[in-house]
Amino acid sequence: MTKRLILYLSADEHYLYRAERTALELEGKFSADEAGLNAFREYLRSAQGALFAVLADLAGEDFHEEQIPYLRGADREALLARRLAQRYRDTRLAAALSLGQVLTPERRNERVLLASFTNTQQLSQWLDALEEAGARLAGVYSTALVAPALAAALGARDARVLLVSANRAGLRQCYIEKGRLRFARLERIGELAPEALAGFVRSETQRLVQYLITLRALAREAGPMQVLVIAPPGRRAAFEQALHADGRLTFRTIDYADAQRALKLRRLPEGAAAEALFVHLAAQKPPRQQFANRDERRRYLLWQLQRAIVGAGAAAFCLCALVGGSRSLDVINVRTATAEQRELARSAAQQYQRITSSFPVTDTSTENLKAAVVEFRRIAERSSNPEPAFIHISRVLQKYPQVELDALRWSVGKPGEVRLPTARTQPQGAAEPIDTMVLVEISGRVNATQRNDYRGITAQVQSFASALVGAGYELVRTQLPFDVTSEGVLSGDIGGSAESGEAPRFTVVLGRRLR
């Protein structure tokens, strides 16, 4: 696991912490002079591959609020860079913090907080040492930048919160509005007695609130503001006794041990003060905005890219392994199924041999027998039986009781042996010509109709013929009892039937194709 180191910078001494998930270990302590810088360079030679972050807790911070047009992308970066250059002579450790949007009648603006240090030389030398050693710099933060995350972790829910803590560097005061930093200051404590620290906190808090009102960062008519005070170990009772609420301030005191539990920080170096809370958050939940530029963080960004590539490669390898395992299971299943099919084929072959061994001895081969069986089945399928035709005609005759059946002739013949009507003739170019068809010739008489009612008799015969069509049968020919010649002469079985008293005869021929 990559070692993560946090360099805490104060005015007198600098502390190097090794950050773990729930603990902080003191790696080194360096003075703020040239000797301490040389010792730090010596340490960097043995810390190759570690990740570094710088947390500055120094006096002389500058905060300035401005409004800029609402922009995005490169235009916003260029505008912020120009504003920072106008505000600060050295922009190496300068940052622009967004405070949200402002809607005006003319346009939409963005509030930004320009932040930097009045004396950047006290940080630049240590950053140069990290650059010379080729260290991976994750970021440069200040305790003020980490303060919003600390206030949220300690349960601050008010819109305006003043976070106060006693660090090694001094009394740190951070004004937070709606979860965003607005102002911060560091006041040296010096040789102040622990008993007088609570009174000092109250007086400095009142001074800071008056200063914020002067800067118009805090409205004069605003309601009471919550002051969140992190008391040193064992001093909570004294702080609560000294810090009384008034019309402008309401105090909430948190013991140092309770703050540790809120941050899940279980182990600390001996003698560490409230700055350990800021160091822990800078390592575990660093703020998105910080002072280092991309050039100073390029090794860290490259390391992140390498880790992303390695992670993507590992994910791709796992995915390929899963796909390969799935394919291997498929191959195993296919091989099992193949073995089962081979076993079935072998059993079928043995059964076939047993069956064929009982066949009588013939002078022909098995292939010829197979061909003969196939041809026999084809002939059987093409053979016809008169029973289905008789059943079909009987059902139709039940619907027409006025039709009297005289004769019924069933036969199988070629299409050329019968005269097919034009409408039923097979079209040219048909893919499957008809070999044979079943022919059923029905002869009968129409009773219950006057013998001179030619139209009624014709309609009865045509209706009967149409009812016979179906179930695979088609109408081949219809012979009416009479007909009208081209000269308009009525001919047929008319007169003779009238003299003899018999009903006129008709003939209907049905056909069913055999395929």
Please write the tens of the pLDDT for every residue from 283-323. 999 999 999 988 999 999 999 999 999 999 999 999 999 99
What domain range is 447 assigned to?
Answer: 386-514
- DSSP bridge partners of 439: 411, 511
- Kindly indicate the confidence band of residue 431, based on its pLDDT and cuts at 50, 70 and 90: very low
240: pLDDT strictly greater than 70: yes
- Kindly indicate the confidence band of residue 441, based on its pLDDT and cuts at 50, 70 and 90: confident
In this structure, the answer to whether residues 290 and 397 fall within a common structural domain is no
Cα–Cα distance for residue pair 379/458, rounded to 1 Å: 40
Predicted confidence at residue 448, as pLDDT, reads 65
- DSSP bridge partners of 21: none
Q: How far is CA 78 from the centre of its chain?
A: 36
In this structure, the answer to whether residues 127 and 228 fall within a common structural domain is yes
Q: Are 33 and 79 in contact (CB under 8 A)?
A: no
Cα–Cα distance for residue pair 385/514, rounded to 1 Å: 11
In this structure, the answer to whether residues 139 and 283 fall within a common structural domain is yes
- Kindly indicate the confidence band of residue 367, based on its pLDDT and cuts at 50, 70 and 90: confident
- Dihedral sign, Cα of residue 326, residue 332, residue 336, residue 339: positive
In a domain, 162, yes or no: yes
265: pLDDT strictly greater than 70: yes
In a domain, 453, yes or no: yes
In this structure, the answer to whether residues 170 and 30 fall within a common structural domain is yes
Structure tokens at 327: 């394919």
In this structure, the answer to whether residues 49 and 153 fall within a common structural domain is yes
What's the Rg (C-alpha) of the chain? 53
- Kindly indicate the confidence band of residue 104, based on its pLDDT and cuts at 50, 70 and 90: confident
In this structure, the answer to whether residues 44 and 159 fall within a common structural domain is yes
Structure tokens at 386: 């008169």
Predicted confidence at residue 350, as pLDDT, reads 92
Higher pLDDT, 3 or 422: 3
Cα–Cα distance for residue pair 91/291, rounded to 1 Å: 9
In this structure, the answer to whether residues 291 and 390 fall within a common structural domain is no
- Kindly indicate the confidence band of residue 420, based on its pLDDT and cuts at 50, 70 and 90: very low
- Kindly indicate the confidence band of residue 488, based on its pLDDT and cuts at 50, 70 and 90: very low
Percent of the chain whose pLDDT exceeds 90? 52
Looking at the structure of the chain, the number of domains it has is 2
Q: Which class for 75: exposed (0-12), middle (13-18), buried (19 or more C-beta within 10 A)?
A: exposed
Predicted confidence at residue 434, as pLDDT, reads 53
In a domain, 309, yes or no: no
Q: Which class for 306: exposed (0-12), middle (13-18), buried (19 or more C-beta within 10 A)?
A: exposed
Predicted confidence at residue 139, as pLDDT, reads 94
Structure tokens at 197: 């620290």
Predicted confidence at residue 461, as pLDDT, reads 84
In a domain, 493, yes or no: yes
In a domain, 86, yes or no: no
For residue 460, CA distances in Å to 344, 407, 409, 465, 486 come to: 64, 18, 21, 9, 23
Indicate the SS3 state at residue 123: helix
In a domain, 497, yes or no: yes
- Kindly indicate the confidence band of residue 15, based on its pLDDT and cuts at 50, 70 and 90: very high
In a domain, 37, yes or no: yes
Structure tokens at 503: 């009903």
Average pLDDT over residues 76-84: 93
Picking from 274, 296, 318, the residue at the C-terminal end of a domain is 296
For residue 431, CA distances in Å to 375, 410, 434, 489, 511 come to: 22, 28, 10, 43, 20
Picking from 273, 296, 319, the residue at the C-terminal end of a domain is 296
In a domain, 54, yes or no: yes
Percent of the chain whose pLDDT exceeds 70? 90
Picking from 296, 317, 336, the residue at the C-terminal end of a domain is 296
Average pLDDT over residues 110-129: 92
Look-up of token digits 């098995």: 366
Strands 490-492 and 171-177 come out as unpaired
